[in-house]
Amino acid sequence: MKPIADYTLKEMMTIVAAREVRNNDIVFCGTGISMLAAMAAKKINAPQSVIFFETGAIDSKLEELPLAVGDPRIMYQASCNGGLIDSFTTMQNPITGKHVVGILGAAQIDIYGNLNSTVIGDYNDPDVRFSGSGGACDVASFVPRSLIFMKQEKRKFKRKLDYITSPGYLDGPNGRKKAGLPKGGPYRVITDMGIMGFDKHTKKMYLLGHFPGISPETILQNMEFIIETSNSKEVLPPTLNELKLLRTKCDPHCLIL
Amino acid sequence: MKPIADYTLKEMMTIVAAREVRNNDIVFCGTGISMLAAMAAKKINAPQSVIFFETGAIDSKLEELPLAVGDPRIMYQASCNGGLIDSFTTMQNPITGKHVVGILGAAQIDIYGNLNSTVIGDYNDPDVRFSGSGGACDVASFVPRSLIFMKQEKRKFKRKLDYITSPGYLDGPNGRKKAGLPKGGPYRVITDMGIMGFDKHTKKMYLLGHFPGISPETILQNMEFIIETSNSKEVLPPTLNELKLLRTKCDPHCLIL
Amino acid sequence: MNTNNTKVTNLTDAVKSYVKDGCHLSIGGFTINRNPMAAVYEIIRQKIKNIHLYAHSNGQGVDELIGSKSLTCLEIAYGGSGKFASTCIRFRKAVQDKAIKIEDYSNFQMALRFLAGSMGVPFLPTRSSFGTDIIKKWGFPPEFRKNNAKLPNKKLIELDNPFGNWCDTRKVVLVPAINPDVTIIHVQKADYRGNCRIHGLSFADVEQAKSARHLIITCEELINDDALKNDPDRNQIPFIHADAVVHVPHGAYPTACYGYYDYDPVFLKEYAKIAKNDDKYHLYIQSQILGTLSHEDLMDKVGRDRLKMIAADKKRGYAKGLDRR
Amino acid sequence: MNTNNTKVTNLTDAVKSYVKDGCHLSIGGFTINRNPMAAVYEIIRQKIKNIHLYAHSNGQGVDELIGSKSLTCLEIAYGGSGKFASTCIRFRKAVQDKAIKIEDYSNFQMALRFLAGSMGVPFLPTRSSFGTDIIKKWGFPPEFRKNNAKLPNKKLIELDNPFGNWCDTRKVVLVPAINPDVTIIHVQKADYRGNCRIHGLSFADVEQAKSARHLIITCEELINDDALKNDPDRNQIPFIHADAVVHVPHGAYPTACYGYYDYDPVFLKEYAKIAKNDDKYHLYIQSQILGTLSHEDLMDKVGRDRLKMIAADKKRGYAKGLDRR
């Protein structure tokens, strides 16, 4: 079954992610759909959340959708135009950092939410090179909660990553602590088919919800590893109001959507 | 013999120190006479020297004499109003730091130019407490050359300091290197009786010059330790022009003089 | 920090909510500039005691908190008010009388300690102070530190450069981070959410603000809309760090506030005289501070003429030609 | 750095004087913003080769220096131009073809490395990247580092917290300082002595500038008097760090310069297409870069209409309603 015609999968993903943002969250976001989700959260369900860019802009007035975290649009009507050091130390500082939710994307993810955005293949002789960490490793290291956008594909949900760019729970429940990382870790994975959480005890990914028209089995077929799906529920599709706000207030020119 | 009537000892000290500043020096100064000397240097012999305050102001337009390094007068027409971190890192950074000359004062000094501005007596049960290091320890640690103002008194030129606040050459020629300090160290000591330098090899203080009317012997009588005086020459008194610039352009209201 | 949408309150409530008996406090400003004096006086009025205070080179604020016996411990680089008191007088007395425990650092080290706290790291490295007694002599002995969870176990640590001789540096001194329970700063402009704009030098106020668990801001001008966001390049502290914003004109008096007023040389000279005498000082605290209800009340007592005398020249930011002898 | 009284020069001479074959260079800006493109193109025109480049998250500048085969080594956190090239295309090609040696850090780590260099310390600590391959996998092997005095002996070091568990931190990652031979930044305003005023976000430009042995500044507006000193709170880099100041309007084009112009989406989309094809790219470098004499010449070629299209709205600082699809 195909998704219902009156919304696209990208819209669904954006809105599902936006719903996970809470009022008073400080939302760290990168480019593309993650930036759109942060904007949507502010318009839809968390008006007091604060958008925060790794480049140092806080609470900018986003009249137009930025196309990069270095876009001049984020410098307009910010609370403060700082620099990279200001931004990352705000996350590293546990006093402010505990309020930050990160929205990330990656090329590959494993069952513990570790991410690869650097290379496919051998690091010193790569088949495919991606952009590299950027601030993703830092966010994933520091913040208590992160949302991860992924395409639901076998080559992306990997048993073993070619390169760990950003730490999830590393090798399991005690992984972060053993390695020296602050508490926290990935919270949700949002794909074009469903949404995953991480088990409180095992720290393994599990299926929280499947999108309308997608079965948990279909999702499993599009992953290299197996996750628990028994408690998955169908995710509510975007409401008319959510869609309206997303389309008219966030990306009217379809730059991302 | 008393100093000649047409200048005061404070004026002499200020001008003798000012003469040691070179064009293109970045002059770090504290409050009081050291600030006045920095201003005098700019008016008299080093117009391109740059005055620089530990509070972060660089090249301020000093229309009036500041009475503290936190005086608002230093914030007017500066190149950049930064903060403490900016200021001290400019000295710690060897690229910029190598151009900085520090002007310092202290309660006690020893033969290697180590300074005490913290306590007389036991640190945990002091007879007299002074202001503490402020930025002096940092300047003395970082910069290649510092000028030190001292009153010529036995209790101030000490064989052994009660507390080392700011490092000079520590215990001799290899002292700074052994301790882990960058190169550099004290360059001149300017008192109300004369001016001292430090021997290139032994790093011990020696008498470079005695003020008009003061004999090297008088200077030795006002120190607890003995220094080499054989090459001391009489220091040229302030010229009329130097005095005029000092009195009219630097401290017309006699706030320090 | 909190992300509430308004943090505007009054000074009594702000101090009562965050400055507790025994708390670890840091105050902004430098020597005779932008000390958060209104808040200092309110702390004295509320008789909050046993404070552990952090400052770098603070003059008036530190001296009055010491003089009013509000402190038990002090970590500081420099206690002085420039020409008015090259060593702060009640500070000197208290250290000599062993009335407070004191730990000495250099100015850069104190600034770095706040920076470390604001950055969320346990320490930062410097090349300052090798061979000095700042490293060798500790004001807080190891047992004292061990019994106080709010203190690092060591004053300073020397570390061999783990990157060999990288940057021509054989070793570094590590300074431990400070995360005060509360920081109080006085700024020129703040908005209702706590965005701050400091004019002139920022000293270490930004680092002190960002390292604190709670931040109280007093300000000359309280901006009730989002106007500060029209020029975000000029704002140094975003609202996410703030807990309380209080409108207190002349809130730094008798120290200076660039662009608004100068330090008051009459007050500072008079204070230096009074501070030298225990009885007179006791009387000063009783009448001048405890005898006034608020900073407004205190400013009324100081009088319009004195405030006019120190009013800043708009162009220069200080009071041109002010008699400072 | 130097403390000369005027540093104004032209781009040809500035690049010739400081950017040498094999030098260690860092360029400012971020993804599609304030890359010092005029200087990058001049480097390509002067055919300076074997450059060791440092950047944090740089897009266009890095990609064109790679595409023109000016680099041998690159240390970077992120090579991308946002929507226009989520991974920079010549960058990707060069890494996959092993045409350059690359060392990966996180963005914060690169920023900290410049900060360490600017502060004059050999390293700074962070709590980022534990357990990742950023720590485990080195692009520059130990032997390579050993034979290169301009590189630290190690990529990153894990250190147990010497202050016990202070700040609830068991261990930290140490990142080594960078002190480039030369840094090039493009700013909105600079004066004849090299005082700089950046509008909007500063990225890591200030740290990159202060960590460098030599600093070249290109600027939209060159101020020939001391007017920038009328508002010192807005200046981020004092002149003592600068070596050369060059007036280059549109010096960041095709990337944006806040308050002056937006990025050029037409150029960036076209570039992304060309960059995918080796022959086309070779032709692009030949005609567009080597075929123009200067940035002014290049801007003439781009044409008045395109520049008008991206001109910034005065209030917003970007080109409102610019077609960016």
Mean pLDDT for the stretch of residues D110-138 = 98
- The model's pLDDT over C297-316, given as tens digits with 9 standing for 90+, comes to 999 999 999 999 999 999 99
Residue D2 reports pLDDT greater than 80: no
Q: Note the pLDDT tens digit of each residue in D55-89.
A: 999 899 999 999 999 999 999 999 999 889 999 99
From D303's Cα to the closest Cα of chain B, the distance in A is 37
**A54 a catalytic residue:** yes
Q: Give the pLDDT confidence score for residue A3 in this predicted structure.
A: 42
How many independent structural domains does chain A possess?
A: 1
* Pairs of residues, one from chain B and one from chain C, whose beta carbons lie less than 8 Å apart: 222
Residue B186 is predicted with a pLDDT of: 98
Instruction: Name chain D contacts of A32, Cβ cutoff 8 Å.
Output: 82-83, 86
> For position D1, what pLDDT does the model report?
63
Among C131, C200, C321, the residue with its CB nearest the CB of B81 is C200
Cα of B2 to nearest chain C Cα, Å: 27
pLDDT band at C5 (very low <50, low <70, confident <90, very high): confident
Cβ contact B67–C80 (<8 Å): no
Assign C197 to helix, strand or coil: strand
For C232, which residue in chain A has the nearest alpha carbon?
A80
The residue type found at C119 is: M
Q: Are A65 and A73 in contact (CB under 8 A)?
A: yes
Q: Which residues of D touch B100 (CB under 8 A)?
A: none
Q: In which domain, by residue range, is C141 found?
A: 11-225+234-309
pLDDT (tens digit per residue) in D163-219: 999 999 999 999 999 999 999 999 999 999 999 999 999 999 999 999 999 999 999
Contact yes or no for D46/D39 (Cβ under 8 A): no
Q: Residue C163 is nearest to which of D122, D127, D234, comparing CB atoms?
A: D122
Domain contains D37: yes
- The residues facing A103 across adjacent strands are A29, A147
- Cβ atoms within 10 A of the Cβ of A255, count? 16
Give φ, ψ of C111 to 5 degrees.
Answer: -60, -45
In a domain, D70, yes or no: yes
Q: Sorting pLDDT into bands at 50, 70 and 90, what band is B1?
A: very low
For the segment B231-242, the average pLDDT, to the nearest whole number, is 95
Q: Which pLDDT score, from 0 to 100, does residue B13 have?
A: 96
C-interface mutation test, from A55, A76, A93, A98, most C Cβ less than 10 A away: A93
For C212, name the nearest residue in chain A, comparing CA atoms only.
A95
pLDDT for residue D47 is more than 80: yes
Interface contact C78-B165, CB threshold 8 A: no
Closest Cβ opposite residue C238 in set A79, A89, A94: A79
Beta-bridge partners for C183: C26, C215
Residue C2 has what pLDDT?
A: 66
What local confidence, expressed as pLDDT, does residue A257 receive?
83
- D199:C233 CB<8 A: yes
Q: Is A167's CB within 8 Å of D87's CB?
A: no
ipTM summary value: 0.97
* Percent of residues, chain C, with pLDDT higher than 70: 99
Cis preceding-peptide flag for C180 (omega within 30 of 0):
no
pLDDT for residue C231: 97
Beta bridge partners of A52: A28, A58
- pLDDT classification of B253: cutoffs 50, 70, 90: confident
Q: For residues A63-78, give the mean pLDDT.
A: 93
Cα separations (Å) of A197 from A15, A153, A234? 16, 17, 14
Please determine, for residue D139, whether its predicted confidence score (pLDDT) is greater than 70. yes
* Residue A239 forms part of a structural domain: yes
Find chain A residues with C-beta within 8 A of C240's C-beta: 26, 50, 58, 79, 90, 96, 99
CB contact at 8 A, A156 and A109? yes
Q: Which two tokens stand for residue C27?
A: 């105050």
Residues A72-93: pLDDT tens digits? 999 999 999 999 999 999 999 9
Strand partners, B186: B146
Of the given ranges (B202-216, D3-17, D203-217), which has the lowest mean pLDDT? D3-17
Q: Which of B11, B20, B54, B242 is catalytic?
A: B54
Residue D212 with chain B: CB contacts under 8 Å:
95
For the beta carbon of residue A1, count every other beta carbon within 10 angstroms. Answer: 8
Which chains sit next to B, with 3 or more Cβ pairs under 8 A? C, D
Residue of C1, C232, C236 lying closest to A78 (CB–CB)? C232
Looking at beta carbons, which residues of chain D come within 8 Å of C113?
none
pLDDT band at C4 (very low <50, low <70, confident <90, very high): low
**Rg (chain D; Cα; Å):** 20
The shortest CB-CB distance from B96 to any of D1, D121, D195 is to D1
Average pLDDT, chain C: 97
Interface test with B, best of C130, C143, C161, C323 (most B CBs within 10 A): C130
CA pair distance A246, B32, nearest whole angstrom: 63
- Residue A5 — pLDDT band, cuts 50, 70, 90? low
Query: How far is it, in rounded angstroms, from Cα B123 to Cα C137?
Result: 8
Per the CB < 8 A criterion, the answer to whether D11 and D246 are in contact is: yes
- Residue A154's pLDDT band, with cuts at 50, 70 and 90, is very high
Asked whether B119 and D264 are in contact (CB, 8 A), the reply is no
Environment class of A231 (CB within 10 Å of its CB; exposed 0-12, middle 13-18, buried 19+):
exposed
- Residues in chain D within 8 Å Cβ distance of C129: none
Compute CA C211 distance to the chain's CA centroid, rounded to the nearest angstrom.
13
Contact flag for A and B (3+ C-beta pairs < 8 Å): no
Arithmetic mean of pLDDT, C83-88 = 92
- Predicted TM-score (pTM) of the model is 0.97
* D237 CB-contact burial (10 Å; exposed 0-12 / middle 13-18 / buried 19+): buried
Which run of H or E residues covers position A86? helix A84-92
B256: confidence class by pLDDT, cuts 50, 70, 90: confident
CA distance C115 to chain D (A): 12
Q: How confident is the model at residue D48 (pLDDT cuts 50, 70, 90)?
A: very high
Burial (CB count within 10 angstroms: exposed 0-12, middle 13-18, buried 19+), residue A201: exposed
Average pLDDT over residues C33-55: 98
- Tell me whether B133 touches chain C (CB under 8 Å): yes
Query: CA C231, CA C241: separation in Å to the nearest integer?
Result: 19
Q: Is B219 exposed, middle or buried (0-12, 13-18, 19+ CB in 10 A)?
A: buried
Q: Is B94 on the interface with D (CB under 8 A)?
A: yes
Determine how β-strand A194-198 pairs with β-strand A186-190: antiparallel
| A155 occurs within a structural domain | yes
Q: Which chains touch A (3 or more CB pairs under 8 A)?
A: C, D
Predicted pLDDT of residue D5 = 73
| Chains B–D, number of C-beta pairs less than 8 Å apart | 74
What tens digit of pLDDT does each residue of A214-225 get?
999 999 999 999
Alpha-carbon span A207 to A194, nearest angstrom? 8
C and D in touch (3+ CB pairs within 8 angstroms): yes
pLDDT at C215 over 50: yes
Q: Are C122 and D169 inside 8 Å of each other by CB?
A: yes
- Write down the pLDDT at residue C325: 85
pLDDT at residue B169 greater than cutoff 60: yes
Contact C123 D177 (CB under 8 A): no
Alpha helices in chain C (DSSP H): 11-18, 37-45, 60-67, 89-96, 107-119, 133-136, 142-146, 205-211, 265-275, 278-284, 295-302, 304-310
CA B241, CA D245: separation in Å to the nearest integer? 37
C6 part of a folded domain:
no
Say if CB A51 and CB A38 are below 8 A apart: yes
Mean pLDDT of A248-255: 88
CA–CA dist B120, C60 (Å, integer): 23
Three-class secondary structure of residue A98 per DSSP: coil
pLDDT band at D4; cut points 50, 70, 90:
low
Q: Do chains D and A touch (3 or more CB pairs under 8 A)?
A: yes
- The pLDDT tens digits of the residues spanning C113-152 come to 999 999 999 999 999 999 999 999 999 999 999 999 999 9
Query: In a 3-state reduction of DSSP, which class is residue A20?
Result: coil
Whether the CB of A26 is below 8 Å from some CB of chain C: the reply is yes
Given this model, what pLDDT does residue A1 score? Answer: 39
Domain tally for chain D? 1
Average pLDDT over residues C36-48: 98
| B2 pLDDT tier (thresholds 50, 70, 90) | very low
Q: Is A230 on the interface with D (CB under 8 A)?
A: no
**Residue at B1 is within a domain:** no
pLDDT of residue A2: 42
What domain range is A13 assigned to?
9-250
Q: Provide the shortest C-alpha distance from residue A142 to chain C (in Å).
A: 10
Chain segment B80-129, per-residue pLDDT in tens: 999 999 999 999 999 999 999 999 999 999 999 999 999 999 999 999 99
Closest-CA residue in chain C for B132?
A: C78
CATH number at residue D114: 3.40.1080.10
On whether residue D136 sits in a domain, the answer given is yes
Measured between CA atoms, the residue of chain D closest to residue C149 is D166
- Cβ atoms of residues D81 and D63 within 8 Å: yes
Q: Subunits with at least 3 CB pairs below 8 A relative to chain D? A: A, B, C
Identify from B48, B73, B95 which residue to disrupt to test chain D contact, counting D C-beta atoms within 10 A and taking the largest count. B95
CATH number, domain at B121?
3.40.1080.10
